[in-house]
A and B are shown apart, each in its own frame.
Chain A
Amino acid sequence: MKEEKFIWESGNFRKDPFKVPEGYFDTLADRVMARVGESSGKEEAARKRFIRPLMVWITSAAAILLFGWFGFSELYVKPHQEKLLQQDLTLLVDYFADELHEGQLAGFVEDYDVEVTFSTGVDYQDLIESEPVTAEEFIYQSIGN
């Protein structure tokens, strides 16, 4: 195919007046690989510089939240729930006292420290201590086991 001749391609026109240093291409790959190694190292270092403190923060925050929740649960929530349970039980036992027999009443007193305010004529502590098997049975019955 005949190459197109342009108006500027006259005389001693040289299309390519550029030169390259001696041995430039022989060492180019080595120089590029050295830069690749450098930039990979820098990226890794930058990642570590960012990630390590971030992990410390995340771990600390998680520990604080966990401890905080646990502490809150143990120091406040559970005691509060137990107190409410005891209050409710006291009210219920008082309300159903006529329908409960002495063993059941003894069981509630023993397990939940319920204060029985009505007079039944029964010493629950004596009942629990003198007849431990019986009291235990009554307690299991009273808690539904």
Chain B
Amino acid sequence: MAVIEVDGLRKVFHVHRKAPGFWNSVRALVKRQTVEKVAVKDVSFAVEEGEIVGLLGANGAGKTTVVKMLAGIVHPTRGDARVLGMRPSTRDDRLRRQMALIMGQKAQLWWDLPAADSFLLLKEIYQIPEARYREQLDQLAAMLQVEDELYVQLRRLSLGERMKMELIAALLHTPRVVYLDEPTIGLDLTAQRAVREFVLRYRREHAPAMLVTSHYMEDIERLCPRILILRQGELVYDGSLREVIARYARTKVVIAHLAPQETPVVPHASLAALGTVTLDDDGATLKLEVPRDAVTTAAARLLEHHPVLDLAIEDEPVGAVIERIQQAQGDEHAEDAVVADAIGARARVEEGRA
């Protein structure tokens, strides 16, 4: 059964615009120009229990607005959203007790207090029984290895430690629906990995429905088997991450590790006709990015013209593929493919519902 159901969700914001300069500022005191900005355009999708879904899109694509509508922070202009069968915009306490939102860019905890004090307050807010609170806090703090930092004023913690505290705060009441809005933003690689592993472990143990937005492809690759791609407020892809590569990756990269040679390596002229050739600084690795149907020819030519020790064939990086889908506007071919896929995605969602 779907935990999150979104049907034709739309959000229009009214924003003020002001031309730059002194006189325009004076003019704006009397008359202001207001424009409509459609942040989310009739988006439909569903998320099942225990599923982690990645919500991707460039800045301003509408990801955070979707999350805010599903968390009941922003009211939709049109359409319907149901989380655990309830409308988030009604802010029913029964729903709010089972929901959490973690925003990487915005601290939810009290800045001037140790996290332990904030957690006590959250215990009261969510009415968590003492024994369960103690058990949950101990478990989460141990998983994230922050037991010693619980009693330090939040503002004195590092960014990574603060994010770990935010995660604990959001999950103390064991929510069934979790929204993670850029949970690893600004964190170093170790902290990013710790957060990702924690999210996966939490999902294994509690099976909540999770919606994750992130600009870091590693977050998406590690956490989300299924992704939704938003472009200028429209849902242009809803499907598996693996399928994105199969469908939209145009190239593959053939990597040849070469045997040491006395003379400097010069890539054979016939390779350039197939695709983009790059040679690393020490002349030991030759990379050839070619259309997918030219992979065997490229591999054969590399083996024929160069002393290859080892050969590897890799897919185009998933980030590059998604970036292309996000920026497909203006590219007629890609646009058609993306729009067709969006229609297919919607049809799949509707089929699923039916």
Q: Do A and B come from one complex?
A: no
Q: Report A's interface with B, CB cutoff 8 A.
A: none
Q: Report B's interface with A, CB cutoff 8 A.
A: none
